[in-house]
A = this chain, B = another copy of it.
Amino acid sequence: MTRRPHGQRPTIEDVARRSGVSRSTVSRVINGEPKVRAEVVEEVRRVIAELGYVPNQAARQLVTHRTGAVAVVADQPDGRLFLDPFFDCLLRGIRRELARHGAQAVLLFLDEPDDLARVADYLGGGHVDGAILFSLHPGGRLHGMTDRLDIPAVFGGRPLLRDGDTVRAHPYVDGDNRGGARQAVRHLVSLGRRRIATVTGPHDQEHSAAERLAGYRDVLPDAPPELVERADYTRQGGARAMTALLDRCPDLDAVFAASDLMAAGALDVLRERGRRVPDDVAVVGFDDLTEIAESTDPPLTTVHQDVAEMGRLLARLLFDPATEPAAVVVPTRLTVRASA
């Protein structure tokens, strides 16, 4: 790695000069925008690594309270976030921390076709001091927007490009999805379970779902494909997946569901089918949303994430990025209740 004299940090201009491309091309590569040739992407990334360049945006600090407001932008093509108790809890953490800094959360949803352009105009129009962005899909619509804005931004959830790389221009906060899934499946193994199925989230679309499936496979690399059923993070989806798994593998003795809602749906089906939980089938969920996990029958053993703390960290990264690393992965732990 080439260091510059006097400990000066390399700039985007340095990367552009050494790569032989324009500043805006470097910016497009960093933000994962399309329409950059693969060779150029590769060369720019090589130079970024060589120079040890850290995108400037990440280090910009929100100090001037010009508007007293911070945007929370959620890209929800399926319109699901508003009713999601996980997102509600995250928002509470964000609002509490923003209030501590005297700032107000201003919530914008992307669902109508023109929303992206309007939201970009709004964020760029001096109406907010910073932005917290939720863009859960690889190559999501928000990824490329922020570099053109003159405000600091952080991502909730690791922002992934379509090729699996991470957007490097902004810090992010994520849960330890893979580690948490490993804890869940190891717990089931430790109970002596041998036919452990999993109900996954939409792992082809969302990073968190892909990571939770990867954690399952870390512990059970030889699990046959018939023990894996994809669902959509809803209770109904969890019930449908559990039905399919029982039809296909009547001898299964445990299920790891990648969310509490899906686990609740799985419990509904197990009860209908007369399977005792945990005696016949042990069930572990993910999230530990207490209003769900404590009210299922039996109460749910599940992977605990400190969701409110994740929200607080997101807000804190905007106000004080210097004291935090560019990526924060919040650890998980298992909450053991009666279902496993």
| A85 at interface, CB cutoff 8 A | yes
Chain B residues whose C-beta falls within 8 Å of the C-beta of A111 in the assembled complex: 95
Q: Which of A99-107, A130-138, A191-199, A209-217 has 4 or more CB atoms under 8 Å from chain B?
A: A99-107
Given A99-B115, A118-B68, A106-B104 contact (CB < 8 Å): no
| A205 at interface, CB cutoff 8 A | no
Q: Is the CB of A102 within 8 A of B127?
A: no
Chain B residues whose C-beta falls within 8 Å of the C-beta of A106 in the assembled complex: 106-108, 122
Chain B residues whose C-beta falls within 8 Å of the C-beta of A82 in the assembled complex: 82, 88, 91
Give Cα A17 to B95, complex, Å: 45
Given A95-B109, A105-B108, A83-B79 contact (CB < 8 Å): no
Q: Is the CB of B114 within 8 A of A99?
A: yes
Contact residues, A106-155 vs B (CB, 8 A):
106-109, 111-112, 114-115, 118-119, 121-122, 125, 127
Given A69-B122, A114-B99, A108-B108 contact (CB < 8 Å): no
Residue in chain B with minimal CB distance to A125: B67
Q: Is the CB of B122 within 8 A of A68?
A: yes
Give Cα A163 to B103, complex, Å: 34
Residue in chain B with minimal CB distance to A85: B83
Given A95-B112, A106-B107, A114-B102, A122-B67 contact (CB < 8 Å): yes
Give Cα A121 to B102, complex, Å: 12
Q: Is the CB of A104 within 8 A of B108?
A: yes
Residue in chain B with minimal CB distance to A119: B104
Give Cα A82 to B87, complex, Å: 10
| A92 at interface, CB cutoff 8 A | yes
Chain B residues whose C-beta falls within 8 Å of the C-beta of A68 in the assembled complex: 118, 121-122, 125
Report which residue of A67, A92, A104 has the largest number of chain B beta carbons within 10 angstroms of its beta carbon.
A104
A124 CB to closest chain B CB, in angstroms?
11
**0/1 per residue, A210-254, Cβ < 8 Å to B?**
000000000000000000000000000000000000000000000
| A28 at interface, CB cutoff 8 A | no
10 other A-B residue contacts (CB within 8 Å) besides A67-B122, A82-B91, A104-B115? A68-B118, A83-B83, A99-B112, A99-B115, A103-B118, A104-B118, A106-B106, A106-B107, A106-B122, A107-B108
Residue in chain B with minimal CB distance to A108: B106
| A-B pairs, 7 with minimum CB distance | A107-B107, A99-B112, A104-B118, A127-B127, A82-B88, A106-B106, A69-B122
